Structure 1
Amino acid sequence: MERLDHKLDCKACGTIYLDIPDDVTLSTPIHCSSCGTYLGTWRELERDFNSQGGQNGIFDMHDGQIIRKE
């Protein structure tokens, strides 16, 4: 698996680019930075990221894009 999916991918445009504000909290609404579609709260997306191996250092997040580490 090269990229995360499930809640993290935008169903409208297919990208995984998150618009994450600097002052994010668990209840902050997160939108796709490509098209603006609502993706869920930071709590929901963080839970999904962690369930797919994000907490184990398998993926990196840079400027809201999540990619598999080389």
Structure 2
Amino acid sequence: MKRICHQCQTEMITDCKVTVEGDFSGIKISQKGKGLFKSVSAKAKASVCPNCGYVAFYIDEYKKFNK
């Protein structure tokens, strides 16, 4: 999916890895569901604007989060 910067409308560079300094596992987005094994999670990715430096986080598996 083509991502456009919200600040300057330039096409963003996608699929950048997100990590917390000192922790190589990155950032994980999760949602607790109903039931014992109903939670969903996904690793966050980032897109970066090469023009202004704006950074946006996203996940590829967003459809799993529908209720």
TM-score by length of 1: 0.32
**Per chain length, whose mean CA-contact separation is higher, i.e. which structure has more relative contact order (CA < 8 Å, sep 6+)?**
1
Higher normalized helix content (fraction of residues): 1
Whichever structure has more strand as a proportion of its residues is: 2
Larger CA Rg, structure 1 vs 2: 2
TM, length-normalised to structure 2: 0.33
